[in-house]
Structure 1
Amino acid sequence: MSRKTLAATLCALLLTGGTLGLTACQETAPTASKTPGSETTPIPSGPKKWVDPLGITTEFTTEPSESEDPLNINAQVRLNRVEGAVTGQFENTFARYIVYFDGEPAAPLQWSATGWQDEVIADGSGEPIDLAGARKLQIVIAGVAYPENLEDPHDVPLTKSLDPAITDATIELPFEGYSRFQIAAEEDFPYRVTVLDNPTRLVLDVKTPTILD
């Protein structure tokens, strides 16, 4: 008896057993074998999401803004230097200024920002500050003392941003516990201010039309 005939005979006998026999006689579709290395991982489309190395997620604004207690001068940190650069990627490209301070703050560093104005006023003299640019933004930083270890304490190192949209930048030495940092541009760009610890820093980000390669 051939194998085919034997299989047919067994199915006929199983069919007499009802449903179980019918199930046993149903043909099973062959399982396709996978060739090693044949599977591919989908490649996501579009640009990768840029992650800020400082972890800043504060929202941007063009209006005046301030910290919780902008007049509190109890931090008592010393002004060190200001560094400027263009940072970010894709739609998150902006000019970034970081104001560094020496010393451990006795209280959280406080600040207030004027928003964009036609002019900003120097502390003490009350005279307009000469900045190249039609619109000015000033940040008043509270609780700042004079810098140390500078040959000329009036010459605080300031590296201007490489972003051509920011036309000028300057910082004033502390006066009665407050220091003022100003930038200028030809239009009102969204900005944000953030205070970071270890070391103590005030970060100013200004979102401009600059595009990074």
Structure 2
Amino acid sequence: MSTRHSGVQAVAVLATVLALAACGSAVDEEPSVSVGPTAPTESDDDPTGSAEPAETGAETTGPAATGADPTTTGADPTTTSGEGATTGGVTTGDVTTGGATTGGATTEDVTTQDGPAGEAGATDEPSGLPEFEAADAVVRQDPGGEAAQLVIDEVRLGLQDDFDRVVLDLSGTGEAGWLVQYAEAPAMDGSGFPVDLAGDHVLQVVAQGMAYPEPGDTAYDPGLLLVDGGDLLQVTEVLRGAPFEGQVQVLIGTQEQAPFRVFRLAGPERLVIDLQH
């Protein structure tokens, strides 16, 4: 009985060993089964070996400003252009023109004579000069010749011992006429816009017997001409207008309402205005 029982036990032990051997073989042959903790593996798509998306650190911003920060340009009255702007001491468009309000003019219509005006000196001094007129006088002279057709080519200023001289150099035919007086409210012929020149008074000279320039003649380009008085003692500025109905208006700014005289010179034709100091 005991021997039989021992045999049965031996068979059982052998069966158990064989079963365990069979289980171990199954583990080795099944690649899909892992034993123990799983270690992280590198990803072919992520060279950093991190399964989490990498942080770029780039902060999202709005569109960058492309324009410079606007700044205010100093309004230099000698350099700004535009509506009511100043060009070379000349402000245009119903505003002051180097002290002169020309109203309605544009920067293309007004210019400042470059450099000092040509000097009106001894060569303009005739013999037998007329007497100076009182400051409140109105001086008139009709044009000479049946059809005076003159153009103002240049405005020249000169300082003399007792007076300032303004000379209008003329070309064309005939003899100039004039109407000269101090104006309480000077305004441009044609437009009627007021004119405010430097100084306290304005002597208005209306040169008569004037013609429109021939095509290509630049005598009146760009329209209005402002001449600074420079070192003159009485005259501050001279503003020469453009032809209008056979005459040209010339406005002379003065420090005082001073006595004046007007006369013409021939060879070449000139119109001379003297103002006492």
* 2:136 partner letter: E
Is the aligned partner of 1:101 residue 2:170?
A: yes
* Paired position in structure 2 for 1:59: 131
Larger radius of gyration: 2
Alignment check: 8 A CA contact 1:109 1:143 kept: yes
* Paired position in structure 2 for 1:132: 198
CA distance in 2, matches of 1:188, 1:104: 33
Structure 1 stretches of at least 4 aligned residues deviating more than 6 Å after TM superposition: 70-73
Question: Structure 1 residue 68: deviation in Å?
Answer: 3.8
Alignment check: 8 A CA contact 2:229 2:238 kept: yes
Alignment check: 8 A CA contact 2:142 2:208 kept: no
CA distance in 1, matches of 2:195, 2:208: 19
Identical-residue share of aligned pairs (%):
30
Tell me: higher relative CO, structure 1 or 2? Use CA pairs within 8 A at least 6 residues apart.
Answer: 1
Aligned length: 152
CA distance in 2, matches of 1:71, 1:123: 23
TM-score, normalising length from structure 1? 0.62
Change (3 A) 1:191 1:96: same
CA distance in 2, matches of 1:122, 1:165: 22
CA distance in 1, matches of 2:237, 2:130: 24
Change (3 A) 1:56 1:71: closer
CA distance in 2, matches of 1:190, 1:59: 10
The residue matched to 1:75 in structure 2 has which SS? strand
* 1:112 partner letter: L
Alignment check: 8 A CA contact 1:65 1:113 kept: yes
CA distance in 1, matches of 2:191, 2:145: 22
CA distance in 2, matches of 1:151, 1:111: 19
* Paired position in structure 2 for 1:122: 188
CA distance in 2, matches of 1:159, 1:55: 28
Question: Structure 1 residue 104: deviation in Å?
Answer: 2.7
* Paired position in structure 2 for 1:191: 260
* Paired position in structure 2 for 1:166: 235
CA distance in 2, matches of 1:80, 1:180: 14
Question: Structure 1 residue 143: deviation in Å?
Answer: 1.2
* Paired position in structure 2 for 1:177: 246
Question: Structure 1 residue 186: deviation in Å?
Answer: 3.0
- For 2:180, which of 113, 117, 121 is the aligned residue? 113
Structure 1 gaps, min length 5: 1-49, 209-213
TM-score, normalising length from structure 2? 0.48
Question: Structure 1 residue 63: deviation in Å?
Answer: 2.4
- 1:9-88 aligned at under 5 Å gives the runs 53-61=125-133, 62-69=135-142, 74-87=147-160
* 2:130 partner letter: T
CA distance in 1, matches of 2:247, 2:234: 27
Change (3 A) 1:164 1:85: same
Q: 1:49-101 CA distances to partner (integer Å, 9 max, x unpaired)? A: x9x832251111212333343799831111201100102x3xxx110010011
Question: Structure 1 residue 130: deviation in Å?
Answer: 2.3
Change (3 A) 1:166 1:113: same
Question: Structure 1 residue 113: deviation in Å?
Answer: 0.8
